[in-house]
């Protein structure tokens, strides 16, 4: 009997990690250099790259953006009973980093244009328990950071930017991740610059640096020891093992060397989708991503918002039948099991609910070819029309 292969028909995956330059050479150099644990020569190169290019005071590689967010939660000193403001339209780690420490995530609806937290709705969510605001730069497009930073100043709140998707993107000339007190990047294989699993914490305030190094090194002052500032290292604070192997840093550094090429490749892909799908927007069949003029995008993804959830699911099914793997996200956090246990219910955040049921993400990776894109566009257009 022939073996059943459910993926046999999928010819265009959603994501495909690419070697962009010297990744394999640097990995072998890390190994032959004799250090593949954390903070070897490639980690150091990555740190200074992030600090120089983006303008962070201090960068520390982490095992994921999730770990960077957890470090941020520890650095903000949150504790049980505190509240942290964030969108419900985000990945679970934005909330879990704080929720795991007894903090209540206080959700705010998103804007229908950028799909970022609606800055006009933040102030009314602030209480005397609020400790921080966590703006999530969806699709690498900046949240309204001027308003958010002004609110944080007024109410003395921390700002932790979830810039998982926003590496190399700017808001009013400043790189995302460097505007708040702390920023978190992701280098997961679906992101723009990758190393499989990885992230970075960007520390934009001097006073967090020493404690961040300790938290990242299992609660010890090992970083100081390696710099020769203390003669032994010991347990000084809470912490965990948040630093990645230098093998991953080697891969990542090779990607950083090609960051301008990566942006250019992704820009071309984004613009080709946009130019060829804008007819759908004109006809009122779907809406396309919106990037405010003062935001420099990193072209992290391309999505469409379809007219209904039924139509989105139907289009996704038709694409899959044609061998194209498109996906959706996020299940809004307020309607999840944990969200409901916190007292939230369907109907609380109408824009989030409407968008998340209709959003479709198209295949998007550095080496997606024009002919593949042409095929996706043709199938998509006919599917959207057929699914009316």
Ligand X SMILES: Cc1ncc(COP(=O)(O)O)c(C=O)c1O
Enumerate binding residues for ligand X (CB under 6 A).
64-66, 90-91, 93-94, 136, 162, 164-165, 186, 188, 199
**Smallest distance, Å, CB 234 to ligand X?**
30
In the complex with ligand X, the residue whose CB is nearer, 186 or 356, is: 186
Query: CB 167 → ligand X: shortest distance, Å?
Result: 11
Cβ 26 vs Cβ 250: under 8 Å:
yes
Closest of 48, 19, 64, 41 to residue 247, by C-alpha? 41
Beta carbon of residue 71, minimum distance to ligand X (angstroms, whole number): 12
Closer to ligand X by CB, 326 or 379: give it: 326
Assess contact for 94 and 73: CB atoms under 8 A.
no
Instruction: Report, in Å, the least distance between residue 354 CB and ligand X.
Output: 19
| Orientation of helix 246-257 relative to helix 23-32, angle to 10° | 150
Are residues 304 and 286 in contact, defined by beta-carbon separation less than 8 angstroms?
yes
CA-based torsion, 186, 190, 195, 197: positive or negative: positive
Q: How far is the CB of 383 from ligand X (least distance, A)?
A: 26
Question: Contact 232/225 with Cβ under 8 angstroms?
Answer: yes
| CB closer to ligand X out of 90 and 204 | 90
Nearer to ligand X, 165 or 335 (CB): 165
Q: Are 312 and 358 in contact (CB under 8 A)?
A: yes
CB of 386 to ligand X, least distance (A): 31
Cβ 124 to ligand X shortest distance, Å: 23
Is 40 or 135 the residue whose CB approaches ligand X more closely?
Answer: 135
Determine the Cα–Cα distance for residues 377 and 272; give it in Å rounded to an integer. 9
Q: Which is closer to ligand X, CB of 33 or CB of 196?
A: 196
Q: Among residues 188 and 312, whose Cβ is nearest to ligand X? A: 188
Residues 6+ apart with CB under 8 A from 248: 61, 187, 195, 196, 197, 198
Ranges of H-type helices in the chain? 23-32, 41-54, 65-75, 92-99, 145-155, 209-216, 222-226, 246-257, 259-282, 309-321, 337-341, 350-358, 370-386
């Amino acid at each position: 009997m022939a073996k059943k292969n459910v993926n046999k028909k999928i010819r265009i995956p959603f994501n495909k990690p690419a070697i962009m330059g010297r990744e394999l050479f640097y990995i072998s150099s890390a190994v032959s250099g004799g250090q593949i644990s954390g903070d070897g020569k490639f980690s150091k190169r990555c740190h200074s790259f992030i600090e120089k290019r983006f303008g962070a005071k201090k960068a520390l590689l982490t095992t994921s953006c999730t770990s960077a967010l957890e470090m941020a939660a520890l650095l903000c000193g949150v504790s049980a009973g505190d509240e942290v403001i964030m969108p419900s339209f985000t990945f679970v780690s934005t909330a879990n980093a704080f929720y795991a420490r007894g903090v209540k995530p206080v959700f705010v609806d998103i804007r229908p244009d950028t799909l970022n937290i609606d800055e006009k709705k933040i102030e009314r969510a602030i209480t005397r328990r609020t400790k921080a605001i966590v703006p999530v730069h969806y699709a690498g497009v900046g949240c309204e950071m001027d308003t958010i930073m002004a609110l944080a100043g007024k109410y003395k709140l921390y700002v932790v930017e979830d810039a998982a998707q926003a590496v190399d993107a700017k808001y009013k000339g400043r790189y995302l991740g460097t505007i708040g007190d702390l920023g978190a990047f992701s280098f997961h294989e679906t992101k723009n610059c990758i190393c499989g699993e990885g992230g970075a914490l960007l520390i934009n305030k001097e006073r967090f640096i020493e404690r961040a190094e300790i938290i990242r090194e299992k609660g010890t002052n090992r970083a100081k020891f390696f710099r020769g500032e203390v003669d032994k290292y010991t347990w000084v604070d809470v912490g965990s093992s948040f630093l990645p192997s230098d093998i991953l840093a080697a891969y990542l550094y090779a990607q950083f060397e090609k960051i301008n090429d990566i942006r250019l490749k992704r820009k071309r892909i984004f613009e080709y989708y946009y130019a060829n799908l804008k007819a759908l927007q004109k006809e009122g069949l779907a809406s396309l991503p919106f990037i405010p003029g003062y935001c420099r995008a990193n072209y992290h993804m391309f999505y469409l918002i379809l007219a209904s959830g039924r139509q989105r699911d139907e289009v996704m099914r038709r694409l899959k039948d044609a061998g194209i793997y498109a996906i959706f996200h996020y299940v809004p956090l307020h309607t999840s099991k944990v969200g409901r246990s916190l007292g939230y219910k369907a109907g609380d955040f109408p824009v989030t609910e409407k968008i998340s049921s209709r959003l479709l993400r198209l295949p998007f990776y550095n080496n997606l070819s024009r002919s593949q894109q042409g095929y996706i566009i043709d199938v998509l257009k006919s599917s959207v029309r057929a699914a009316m």
